Structure 1
């Protein structure tokens, strides 16, 4: 593997030569100029350390994002142990970047770690869920009220199309299972994405970036992981309730009735919070 690096002490380009060791780790061999001259050891070490640090930081960020994605999608449900050895094998890396990635996720409130023990996906408390959904109801209601004023006709058309895709997926999910359960799981994952798309479009249409940022933060963390796991367990009747609530929100926006849109979204979020809370309490008692 050849990587070009500009070394400031020379006017010509040196080629840094490395070889793969395992996974995404590399060992430096040397740095050479076109005329065959080898770079001084001090400059080589400086360049090598900088490049390795950059690669390692990028790798840790990529792994943390992949684990985070699996937590928020329900792939790693609340309470599941994340063993470093298993994750290292899954991602084809050593345990070092796994350990650093888990530390980042711990700082985000997604996992908890105890010394010499596996990381565990955090399960939110009943109080956490109740408080966050009350805040979400107020903020998303505010966003919907603003969106009724600011969303363009083209945005309403896209929101209507998103809702129709959600309805189609609800009907598909309610249909009798075909084959193994993998198809049902994939359809529910698609529903989660469509639901997030619907809500995100409304918040984006509020034309308030700070409000959008606050709501993004509220949807992440341990509560976000619990939401994904609970949503994956929704039956067809619950999905139909959610679809009808989306319809009420959409119709209020199409009428550009800010008060009605705000009330419909707030009611929808509070109702969802009650469902998530009941699901988490049932899981704790089982």
Structure 2
């Protein structure tokens, strides 16, 4: 596996709940899984650490970040800002081609979400959903014309997903996700900027006002 492909695979693994928060990542063990040198794996982990997806300390090695309510709140608030502005700019600047890609991304995500059995997702399905959900939200802002905004959003998204995935790994939010994603797409295609901003805010701020832990307790 080439280095870039290995980096992307490891990035997907550390944000999809495969490793527990705070779990140590041993370069020697991981490199044997992929048949690469320990130096190559260490470089991959160091690269992930620059994105905030892995913690590194001399003499202590690499670990996944611990969960932090404050960090999750800050990342959520930042996502609201970035996606609201990016989607608004995309509505103004986006072409018919962007609209078609947004519809396709939503269709793919909806197909995966419709196959989810709440409470018992497989690791493979969880990883597939993470990629599809990211593709949907990236496509939503892809027509904005601001590369810095898109790059910043991508970095924030991965850290946000890593903080949330452990508590949301049961897919308890899927029924509401399906409804909210459709509302966002419909508003974007109708070129209703104000409604898109409101729906994005409602979609993301539930992680502040009604975290999934509360939802699962109420549903038990």
TM over 0.5: yes
Larger Rg: 1 or 2?
A: 1
Q: 2:63 aligns with which of 109, 120, 126?
A: 120
| 1:209 alignment counterpart | 147
- SS of residue matched to 2:116: helix
1:129 aligns with 2:66: no
Structure 1, unmatched stretches of 5+, are: 1-23, 25-57
Structure 1 window deviating more from structure 2 (259-268 vs 185-194): it is: 185-194
Offset, 1:121: 0.8
CA drift at 1:86: 1.0
- The TM-score with structure 1 as length reference comes to 0.64
Alpha-carbon separation, structure 2, partners of 1:86 and 1:73: 19
Q: Deviations over 1:11-60 (max 9, x none)?
A: xxxxxxxxxxxxx9xxxxxxxxxxxxxxxxxxxxxxxxxxxxxxxxx85x
Residue aligning to 1:71: 14
What displacement does 1:126 show? 1.3
Deviation for aligned residue 1:107: 3.0
Structure 1 residue 257: Cα displacement: 0.9
Distance 1:185 1:100, change over 3 A: closer
For the residue of structure 2 that corresponds to 1:261, the secondary structure is helix
Distance 1:217 1:176 in 2: 28
TM-score when scaled to structure 2?
0.81
In structure 2, the residue corresponding to 1:174 is in which secondary structure?
coil
> Residue 119 of structure 1: SS of its match in structure 2?
strand
Q: How far apart, CA to CA, are the structure 1 residues paired with 2:52 and 2:119?
A: 38
Question: SS of the counterpart of 2:63?
Answer: strand
Which has a greater percent of strand? Answer: 1
Conserved 8 A contact 2:22-2:64: yes
RMSD between aligned alpha carbons?
Answer: 2.9
Contact 1:148 1:261 in 2 (8 A): no
1:253 aligns with 2:188: yes
Shift in Å at residue 148 of structure 1?
2.0
Kept in 2: contact 1:137–1:267 (CA 8 A): no
Per-residue Cα deviation, 1:185-242 (whole angstroms, up to 9, x for no partner) = 3233222222111111111022222221221221234x4422344443323xx10101
- Secondary structure of 1:104's counterpart equals helix
Q: Which runs of 5+ in 2 are unaligned?
A: none
- The answer on whether the counterparts of 2:119 and 2:171 sit within 8 Å (CA) in structure 1 is no
C-alpha separation in 1, matches of 2:206 and 2:179? 12
Q: Which residue of 1 aligns with 2:197?
A: 262
Q: Distance in 2 between matches of 1:255 and 1:190?
A: 29
CA separation of 1:122 and 1:153: change in aligned 2, threshold 3 A = same
Q: For 1:105 and 1:158, how far apart are their aligned partners in 2? A: 29
SS of 1:220's partner is helix
Question: How many residues of Structure 1 are paired with residues of Structure 2 in the alignment?
Answer: 214
